Structure 1
Amino acid sequence: MRKMIHAAMIACLAAFGLTAASAQSAKPIEVIVFPGGFNWPIWVAQDKGYFEKNGVSVKVTPTPNSQFQLKNLIEGKFDIAMTAIDNVVAYSEGQGAAKTDVQPDIFAFMGGDNGFLRLVAVPDVKAISDLKGKQVSVDALTTGYAFVLRKLLENGGLKPGDFEFVSAGGVVQRYQALLKKEHAATLLISPFEVNAEAEGFNRLANADEALGRYQGLVGATRRSWAKENEKELIGYIRAYTAALDWLYDPANKAEAIAILRKNAPNLSETLAARSYDVLLHPSKGFTRGAVLDPEGVKTVLQLRSQYAEPKKELTDPGKYYDLSYYDKAKKN
């Protein structure tokens, strides 16, 4: 009888994509993210049990800025970072804003979005030309989306000497500083611009319209960790993409918004609905299936080749990603 009960338990666990060994695994995957609604797929995967169904658990930590995130990913304090692929490129090429105690060996294993990058300014700034002589805030001066912002300003007719870049931390810190009007403008990530516009701030440009295809958020990790934890990484990818599929199902809209508001309690019902329209736009929202866009990575490399120091000509996007784990995850 005892053997029969044990066999039934194993069968039950297997039905949820778990083995007894994985179900008893005590150590969660340490994931470090920027705070914001773009973590919606992770929140859904937690709420709907997709991580557990794929044999993994996660512990999510918000980062104050890209320097903290990348340094601690590279040095092994975190296993996975949901970050801009530009950060992966920067630290791989010795152009990162923070010094690391070990040689960076990081790569992107899946895509996420096109960055959802919006140039937003204080109410009295109506156009990019109005930013002449003013301060514009970024996360780090040499990584992340600083070069996207620089390109947007140049496209708007401003030369480097016409404005001052100020490092103000991650998107939450920049958003808060913008609302206090400490700087004239910054690059926000959706859905932060939804809140800002509701307060009377002005959106001056959308990066996807100015740059075309651009790879923004990716899942990144260390090659050594991926090799040693292949099953866990595959489970994470499967859970994340399952959450994306669930989010894009219109039948789940009301519950999806409820999950968003549970994790972003300051978001009103109206702004949450607008965030849904932005982040789950049929063609401009989260990348379906978390597919990585090599052409979008090329755009990242072009900007970094143009603006980054020390100067490097970067032409091989495949150097910064490995989709073999993603391909395994998508196989049944």
Structure 2
Amino acid sequence: MIACAVALVLAVAACGGDSDDADAGDGKGGGGGGGGGGKGLERSSVTVAALPLADDAPLYLARDRGLFEKEGLDVRIQPVQQSIQALPALSKGQVDVIASANYVTFLQAHEKGTLDLRILAEGARVAPHMMDVLVPEDSDIRSVADLKGKKVAVNILNNIQSLTLNAILGQQGAGLPEYRQIAFPQMGVALEKGQVDAVHAVEPFNSAIQKQLNARVLVDGGSAPVESIPISGYVTTGDYASKNPRTAAAFRRAIAAAARIAAQDQDAVREELPEYTKVTAAQAESIRLPAYPVTSDAAELRRLTELMKEQGLLEKPIDPGTLLVE
């Protein structure tokens, strides 16, 4: 049955250079921890909450290829199912960084004053078919116009999925659906049982649902006008960033080096995915990956905040440049 198959495939596995990263070489890393940029860190241990998504590939590449060690960092990864689950722990200092933190939720928390947000590095940007709206093979839904009023599953309500899909539908003059909150691992089951009319799934769930159910792609979630828009990042608090500037910089250099590997060599990402998820090597070959930016771009982040403002997810514009840790 689809429930067993999806659960098996997608369950989470238990578990010193400058910013130009010239010393990263081929990214294989290797020992020598504490040298170069690792000297003089306020602290060497960094606890990171992370999700089992393709967004987080640079984090695990940095760990497994010794890029954190090279910077003198001991990075401990705590798996979580939703980045929002780690928000209280971040606020309380129980974790130092959240990886794959979805920007929409965390920017809203910043605006409300429940989190003094700082962005250490970008995590991922939208790429073609890294998230798709899927319908059953025999569904009567044949065009975006048919989605009006239909039940569409998203992982979290009023977040990046509905934000980007609303923008796509709006550009095409289509009406909006009714969103239902269903966790990614349960989307395939919900679609199979007819609990929803469509699901908005990200990788690796996207490919698995298509394969298991012969689900049909209705909308490419990475299409205009949201192509390349930032969706997630490595975030911390203003307090942590101000008290640990050298540690933060070392973490950022390691992530940048890993992101460069991920951006230039998709095979490296596909090899890494089975190391922190239960996605097999064969399944990893067909997964559509997000874009991995090497540097943070306030202008690109501003596209996201302006879209949030347009759709009522922010009360007033936020200047992302004030949140980026340099």
The TM-score with structure 2 as length reference comes to 0.75
Q: What is the match of residue 246 of structure 1?
A: 261
> After alignment, is 211-220 or 175-184 more displaced?
175-184
Q: What is the match of residue 285 of structure 1?
A: 291
Q: Which amino acid aligns with 1:272?
A: A
Shift of residue 155, structure 1, vs aligned partner: 3.9
Rounded Cα–Cα distance in structure 1 between residues aligned with 2:310 and 2:223: 19
Contact 1:36-1:191 at 8 Å conserved across structures: yes
Segments of 4+ moved more than 6 angstroms: none
Tell me, which stretches of 5 or more residues in structure 1 are unaligned? 1-11, 95-101, 325-332
Helix, strand or coil at the partner of 1:111: strand
Rounded Cα–Cα distance in structure 2 between residues aligned with 1:52 and 1:152: 42
- Please give the per-residue CA displacement for 1:129-165, whole angstroms capped at 9, x wherever unaligned: 33334211223323343322222343454434xx321
185, 189, 197: which is aligned to 1:184? 197
Change (3 A) 1:243 1:175: farther
Q: What is the match of residue 304 of structure 1?
A: 308
Rounded Cα–Cα distance in structure 1 between residues aligned with 2:171 and 2:88: 32
Q: Which amino acid aligns with 2:47?
A: E
Q: Which amino acid aligns with 1:262?
A: E
- Is 1:107 the counterpart of 2:118? The answer is yes
- Please give the per-residue CA displacement for 1:36-75, whole angstroms capped at 9, x wherever unaligned: 2222111211211211111112222233334323333233
Q: What is the match of residue 149 of structure 1?
A: 165
Rounded Cα–Cα distance in structure 1 between residues aligned with 2:229 and 2:269: 26
Q: What is the match of residue 29 of structure 2?
A: none
Q: Which amino acid aligns with 2:325?
A: L
- Please give the per-residue CA displacement for 1:169-200, whole angstroms capped at 9, x wherever unaligned: 4x445466446653222333334323333332
Rounded Cα–Cα distance in structure 2 between residues aligned with 1:262 and 1:179: 29
- Please give the per-residue CA displacement for 1:283-331, whole angstroms capped at 9, x wherever unaligned: x7212x2x2232322221222112225x623163324x2231xxxxxxx
- Please give the per-residue CA displacement for 1:85-140, whole angstroms capped at 9, x wherever unaligned: 2223211112xxxxxxx742112122122134523222224432333342112233
Contact 1:120-1:201 at 8 Å conserved across structures: no
Change (3 A) 1:157 1:87: same
Helix, strand or coil at the partner of 1:240: helix
241, 250, 255: which is aligned to 1:235? 250
The TM-score with structure 1 as length reference comes to 0.74
Q: Which amino acid aligns with 2:306?
A: Q
Contact 1:85-1:297 at 8 Å conserved across structures: no
Over the residues paired in the alignment, what is the CA RMSD in angstroms? 3.1
Helix, strand or coil at the partner of 2:167: helix
Aligned counterparts, 1:15-26, within 5 A: 15=35, 18=38
Contact 2:134-2:201 at 8 Å conserved across structures: no
- Please give the per-residue CA displacement for 1:251-304, whole angstroms capped at 9, x wherever unaligned: x93x653332232333351x32233xx32xxxx7212x2x22323222212221
> After alignment, is 229-238 or 150-159 more displaced?
150-159
Rounded Cα–Cα distance in structure 2 between residues aligned with 1:168 and 1:317: 30
Rounded Cα–Cα distance in structure 2 between residues aligned with 1:59 and 1:177: 34
Q: What is the match of residue 28 of structure 1?
A: 45
Rounded Cα–Cα distance in structure 2 between residues aligned with 1:297 and 1:46: 26
Q: Which amino acid aligns with 1:221?
A: T
Change (3 A) 1:177 1:232: farther
Q: What is the match of residue 132 of structure 2?
A: 119
Tell me, which stretches of 5 or more residues in structure 2 are unaligned? 1-31
